[in-house]
Amino acid sequence: MTPMAPRRRRAALLALMASIVSGACGGVAPSGSGPATPAEEASIAAPTPLQSLTTQLSGAAAALRGALEPEGFRLELVNRAFRTSEPPELSAAPRAVFQVDVGDPNAGYVTVYEFPEAASAATAGAALGRHLGSGFGQTNYALDAQFAVAQEGGTVIFTWWSRERSDDPARTERAFNLVSSVGQPIPVAR
């Protein structure tokens, strides 16, 4: 046996472990995709969409609409399973998923997570920022992806965009910047 064999086995084992962990966490939407296809939705354990918005989620949605509507953008509630790459701290959090009308069915998604109070939202938002800054957290996004994470009261607002994958980069970037202006920004270190 050559000296490289143990390294190859270790690399294969690490790859296997990563796929098991990813599966155990419920999976994530495919790289750079927006919403999951019906076949993907069946294999992704996404949380049940809320039938109606809570007071906190409604407040975050109102703040987002306040930033977007004066610039001619609409924010619509998405009423189907949708999951972004997220750390365990957010996997069970109630959430609402919205889409900004950027002229691209696979772009403009905004996920708003709800927490019992501002302190737990801040902790979860920081975990999301660290996750997105990690190599593992970035694997589901385009290489040029830009992320925005912010806290608005007891909620965490997350969106992202990619110039490479955008049908209308100027419009999508403008919407991203407007969404990014809502709440207290949480850094995403890359």
Cβ-in-10-Å burial (0-12, 13-18, 19+) of 90 comes to: buried
Q: Where are the domains of the chain?
A: 4-186
| Beta-carbon count within 10 A of 3 CB | 6
Q: For the chain, where are the E strands, in sequence order? A: 75-78, 95-100, 109-114, 146-152, 155-161, 184-186
pLDDT tens for the chain, residues 1 to 190: 444 455 444 444 444 444 444 444 444 343 344 444 433 433 344 455 566 899 999 999 999 999 999 999 999 999 877 778 889 889 889 999 999 999 998 899 999 999 999 999 999 999 999 999 887 777 778 888 999 999 999 999 999 999 998 999 999 999 999 999 999 999 997 6
Per DSSP, the three-state class of 12 is helix
